[in-house]
């Protein structure tokens, strides 16, 4: 064994000592870790639609970027249908939500602009801001006044461009909801743009699953990002916005321009998932009941506030303790994952319990009991 790899081994060892080393794990146990909130990932209707597309000759591969020969009829049909469903003028399909946030934030704001993002915004937005030509600042979580003050201060200091407000509508690690109406007012007051990342809300929240910001779609100053690999159960991401915004992304969104287009078969699958989303009021109602059940059997016994969404964080603070708890729950048959910095702020390591229709009330009750038992062992 040579010394060439020693610096990399040292980095891994340092992560191990801090209880922050990540490893890939096989699927095992009851699902409290995925984002397949409505249980659509294995939906037979979506699968059959893709199989029918295969049978009629739709290719698995796109063959190139959308600007070369990779632009398939299935991509364009999906985008037209998505725009109609979400109420926007146009839509653009990208490979994933990370690529979409990169395209939006690195490609649209100009050098005279200001990006104001929520302090808990997703890592993909942080990376997009790093590549942006605009100045970027973070403000306190879910604080519309903080956004307003940041923009007003920038203007007072000579800022002449456009402000861009960037938030998640439902935060993936805390499960709380953004005040989108108040943020839209801030954007309008300052002639700004509002980017709503609906990743964890699409299919689950809003009328027909259209998202928490559904009432704002179609406004010229609003851009929405609907990822397809969570509540929709498939893959990719849809940006919905006014036509000039979409056309500019086609020209300046580097993660779109320089990426091989998603599979036309997956575009067919996403289109089918959107139709399933519109007809899934029964699934959303079942998930709401499951959330209420978790409030009673998980949150109440632990003295936690009732969840406001399908994402239930149990904050334990200490990284090593969090991972011991996760390991104990996994050994008991529950796939619960520990989340540590830098995914969440320092000192807020947690168990992230994701409620999906892949489990039922009895399994939720059993998890509550296992969680209490594991905590008792930790406190002994």
Active site residues per annotation: 35, 122, 168, 172, 197, 200, 230
CA angle 100, 197, 355 (to 5 degrees): 115
Residue where the block lists tokens 């559904």: 214
Under a CB-based contact definition with an 8 Å cutoff, are residues 358 and 31 in contact? yes
């Amino acid at each position: 064994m040579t010394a060439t790899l020693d610096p990399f081994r040292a980095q891994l060892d340092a992560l191990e000592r801090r209880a922050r080393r990540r490893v890939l794990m096989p699927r095992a146990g009851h699902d409290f870790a995925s984002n397949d909130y409505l249980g659509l990932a294995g939906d037979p209707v979506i699968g059959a639609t893709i199989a029918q597309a295969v049978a009629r000759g739709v290719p698995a591969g796109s063959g190139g970027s959308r600007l070369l020969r990779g632009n398939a009829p299935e991509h364009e049909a999906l985008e037209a249908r998505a725009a109609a469903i979400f109420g926007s003028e146009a839509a653009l399909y990208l490979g994933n939500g990370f690529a979409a946030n990169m395209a939006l934030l690195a490609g649209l704001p100009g050098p005279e602009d200001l990006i104001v993002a929520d302090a808990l915004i997703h890592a993909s937005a942080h990376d997009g801001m790093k590549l942006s030509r605009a100045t970027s600042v973070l403000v306190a979580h879910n604080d519309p006044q903080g956004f307003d003050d940041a923009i007003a201060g920038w203007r007072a200091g000579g800022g002449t461009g456009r402000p861009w407000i960037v938030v998640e509508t439902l935060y993936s690690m805390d499960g709380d909801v953004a005040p989108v109406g108040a943020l839209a007012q801030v954007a309008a007051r300052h002639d700004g743009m509002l980017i709503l990342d609906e990743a964890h809300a699409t299919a689950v929240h809003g009328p027909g699953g259209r998202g928490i910001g559904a009432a704002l779609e179609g406004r010229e100053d609003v851009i929405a990002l609907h990822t397809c690999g969570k509540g929709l159960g498939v893959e990719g991401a849809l940006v919905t916005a006014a036509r000039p915004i979409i056309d500019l992304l086609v020209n300046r969104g580097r993660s779109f321009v320089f990426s091989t287009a998603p599979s036309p078969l997956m575009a067919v699958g996403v289109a089918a998932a959107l139709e399933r989303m519109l007809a899934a009021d029964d699934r959303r109602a079942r998930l709401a009941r499951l959330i209420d059940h978790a409030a009673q059997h998980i949150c109440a016994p632990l003295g936690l506030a009732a969840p406001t969404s399908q994402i239930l964080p149990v904050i334990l603070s200490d990284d090593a303790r969090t991972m011991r708890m996760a390991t104990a729950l996994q050994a008991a048959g529950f796939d619960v994952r520990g989340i540590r910095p830098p995914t969440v702020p320092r000192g807020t390591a947690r168990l992230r319990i994701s409620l999906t229709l892949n489990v039922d009330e009895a399994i939720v009750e059993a998890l509550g009991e296992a969680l209490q038992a594991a905590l008792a062992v930790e406190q002994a």
